[in-house]
Chains A and B, each alone.
Chain A
Amino acid sequence: MAAIEATGLVKTFKGRKATVKALDGIDLDVPEGTVLGLLGPNGAGKTTAVRVLTTLLKPDAGTARVLGYDVVKDADTVRGLVGLSGQYAAVDELLTGRENLWMFGRLYRLPSQQAKQRAEELLATFDLTEAADRILKTYSGGMRRRLDLAGSLIAHPKVLFLDEPTTGLDPRSRLDLWQIIRDRVREGVTILLTTQYLEEADELADSIAVVDHGSVIARGTADELKAKVGGERIEVVVHDPADLTRALELLTGALGIADPESTSLEEHNRRLTVPAPGGSSTLVEVIRTLDAAQIRIADIGLRRPTLDDVFLTLTGHEAEQKESL
C-alpha cells in the first residue's frame, strides 16, 4: 500500500502582480518504506507539494492521502503521524536544544517525563548531547538542521517529509545528514524528500520525480533518469580548430559510436562531446586515440549529468532559479 498518494493536486497563489500555478495537477505515489526524491529547481512547486501533504495548505483541487488519511478531512490525524523538517530550520532560537525537543514532545502530547526521555534519546542519536543546554543561536547551521530533524522524529513518525534538508549546508554536515536520513530508512520510515541536487536524490532516493512548473515531468530511478540524459559524457577541447572534425571521426570509429546524434561539435570553442558508457576507461581510450593521431588536447574531462542536463533534456530549457513560493 502507498504511504503517500496524491492525485491531481492543484494549488494557485494569487499575488498582487501575477497568479502563479504552484501545483498544476501533481500525482505522487510513494510505497511504504521507500524514499521518493522530488527533484526540481526553486519555484518548481516542491515546497508547495510538501505543504499540501503535511496539511499546511489546502489544495484547490485533487486529493492526497497519507497512510490512508485524507490530508484535508483527517488533517489532525495526519499531523499526529508525520514528521516535517524544512529548509528553514524551524526551531526556537532562544530555547536550548533540550528545551526545544521537550517542547515539541509535549506538543505531540507526550507526558512531560516521556518527552524529556525522548529528547535525551534524540540528542544522543544526533550527537547533540554536549550542546543540549546551549541556546540555538549559538548552534552552527548543521547542528540546527540536525536538531530540526530530531524535532520531526519525536513521535516516531512512519512518514517523514524533508524539504531540502541539506540546502545551504557545508559538505561535512551534508554527509552527516545523509547518514541520519539513511538510518531512518533502515528503520522502515517512508520519506518524501525535496532537493535541487540530482546527486542528493541519487544518494538517498529509491525513485525520483522531476518537477517543473507544478507538474511531474519525469519519473524513475536515478539511473533511468541519467540514461534519458545519456549518461556520462566526455568533453574534449582540441588545441587546433583544424583538428576538430578529424578528431570526431576518429573517436566515432574508435569508440564504435552508432548514433551520430549522441555526439556534438562546437566549432567556436573547439569543443566536441561524446558519450562515455565506460566512464573513465572510455576517457583513457579517447586520450590514447587522439594521442596516436597526434591531435593536441587543450582540455578534457569526464562529465556526469547534472540537474541542468536532466532539465535541458526533459524540458528543453535550463533549470531557472526562481524565488520559492
Chain B
Amino acid sequence: MSVELPARVNPLSRALSDAGILAWRSLKRIPRTPDMLIYATIQPIMFVLLFAYVFGNAIPIPGFPGPRAYREFLMSGIFAQTMAFAVASASVGLADDMSKGLIDRFRSLPMARSGVIAGRVVGDLVFNAFVMLIMVICGFIVGWRWHNGFGQALAAFAILLLFAFAMLWVGALIGLSVGGPEVASSAGLIWLFPLTFLSNAFVPTPQLPKALQPIAEWNPISSIVAACRHLFGNPSPFASPDGFPAQHPVWLSLMWCTAIIVVFAPLAVRKYRSATGH
C-alpha cells in the first residue's frame, strides 16, 4: 500500500517553527485573560510599595546612608523575584493544557517534542518582559534610578529575562509533573518564598544570621540581584565582600542561569514525552 508521507524537514527548523506557532498561541491568549495580567502586575507593585514604605525605613543599607538607599537597593530584588515567579505561569499553563487534553492532542501531532514547552516558554517570556516594563515604571515612581548608563541597564534587563527563561523551564517540569492547574500553582510557588527571602533581595546579607550568610550569597536569586545592582549602580552590600559572589556577580548569575537551563530543559522535554492527561 502506498501512503503519502509528509515532507521531511530539518528537525531544528521544525522545532523552531513549532515553538513559534505555540508562542503565537500563548500571546493570543494573553489579552483574552486580562485578569492574569492584572494579578501578575499587582503582586510585584504591592511588594514595591510594602517594602519601600513599610520596611524601608527599618532596614538600613550598610555603607549607604539616606532614606532613598533602600529603594535603590530594593528594586533589583523585586525584579528578580518577579522573574522567578515566572515559574508559576509556565507550570499553571502546562498543567491546564494537560488537564484539558490539549497536551494529548499536541503529542498526537507530528510536532517537535520540544515545541509545546518551548512555545509556552517563549510566550511567557514576552509576557514577563511586559510585566517587567511595568515594574520599571513603578521603580521610577518610587525613586529608583540606574546610574551606569543605558547600556549597562539594558544588560541587567537581559540577565533578568535570561533568568526568567531559565525559571520557565523549571515551571514547565513542575506543570507537567503535578496533577492539575490548582496544584501546579502552589507547587510552582511554595518553594520560591524561602528561596527569595533567603537571599539578598529584600534584606542586605550582612544583616542576616552568620550561618545563613553564605547560603544567601550563593543563592541563584542573589546572584541575579547582585548582578543587576552592579550593572544599575545601586547599593550592593555583601557580608563577605571578597568572596566570588561579590567579586563576579555577573559571571555567577550567567553560570546559574546556564546551569538551570542545562538541567531543567532536558528534564522538562523528557517529561513531556510521557506526559498524558488522563
Main SS class of interface, A: loop
| Contact among B5, B25, B107 with A80 in the assembled complex (CB-CB below 8 Å) | B5
Report A159-196 residues with CB < 8 Å from chain B CB: none
- Chain B residues within 8 Å of A93, by CB: 100
- Please encode chain A, from 242 to 259, with 1 for each CB lying within 8 Å of some chain B CB and 0 for all others: 000000000000000000
A67 to B3, CA, bound (A): 8
A197 → chain B, closest Cβ, in Å?
Answer: 20
| Contact among B1, B24, B25, B101 with A1 in the assembled complex (CB-CB below 8 Å) | B1
Which of B6-14, B121-129, B208-216 contacts its partner?
Answer: B6-14
A77 at the interface (CB under 8 A from B): yes
- Please encode chain B, from 124 to 137, with 1 for each CB lying within 8 Å of some chain A CB and 0 for all others: 00000000000000
- Please encode chain B, from 85 to 118, with 1 for each CB lying within 8 Å of some chain A CB and 0 for all others: 0000000000000001110111111110001000
The answer to whether A94 touches B111, judged by C-beta atoms less than 8 angstroms apart, is no
- Please encode chain A, from 25 to 58, with 1 for each CB lying within 8 Å of some chain B CB and 0 for all others: 0000000100000000000000100010011110
A108 to B108, CA, bound (A): 10
A265 → chain B, closest Cβ, in Å?
Answer: 44
The answer to whether B107 touches A56, judged by C-beta atoms less than 8 angstroms apart, is yes
A94 to B104, CA, bound (A): 18
The answer to whether A158 touches B278, judged by C-beta atoms less than 8 angstroms apart, is no
B98 → chain A, closest Cβ, in Å?
Answer: 10
A161 → chain B, closest Cβ, in Å?
Answer: 8
A81 to B1, CA, bound (A): 13
Which of B26-34, B64-72, B151-159, B244-252 contacts its partner?
Answer: B26-34
Q: Looking at B33, B108, B278, which has the most chain A CB atoms within 10 Å of its CB?
A: B108
- Chain A residues within 8 Å of B5, by CB: 77, 80-81
A319 at the interface (CB under 8 A from B): no
- Using C-beta atoms within 8 Å of the partner chain, give the interface range for chain B: 20 to 34
Which of A99-107, A229-237, A299-307 contacts its partner?
Answer: A99-107
| Contact among B7, B9, B108 with A55 in the assembled complex (CB-CB below 8 Å) | B108
The answer to whether A79 touches B28, judged by C-beta atoms less than 8 angstroms apart, is no
- Chain A residues within 8 Å of B106, by CB: 107
B276 at the interface (CB under 8 A from A): yes
- Chain A residues within 8 Å of B28, by CB: 94-95, 99
A103 to B21, CA, bound (A): 7
A47 to B107, CA, bound (A): 15
A109 to B29, CA, bound (A): 22
Decide yes or no: A57 and B102 within 8 Å by CB, A32-B1, A94-B33 being known contacts. Answer: no
Decide yes or no: A81 and B29 within 8 Å by CB, A56-B107, A89-B101 being known contacts. Answer: no
The answer to whether B108 touches A109, judged by C-beta atoms less than 8 angstroms apart, is no
Q: Looking at B1, B3, B7, B9, which has the most chain A CB atoms within 10 Å of its CB?
A: B3
A104 to B18, CA, bound (A): 10
User: A: which residues have CB within 8 A of B?
Assistant: 1, 32, 47, 51, 54-57, 67-68, 76-77, 79-82, 84, 86, 88-95, 99, 103-104, 106-109, 135, 151, 155, 158, 324-325
Further 14 A-B residue pairs, CB within 8 A, beyond A76-B110, A104-B105, A109-B17: A51-B276, A54-B108, A56-B276, A79-B111, A80-B110, A82-B108, A86-B104, A86-B105, A88-B101, A92-B102, A93-B100, A95-B25, A103-B21, A104-B109
Q: List 6 A-B contacts (CB under 8 A).
A: A1-B1, A56-B104, A68-B3, A80-B5, A93-B100, A95-B28
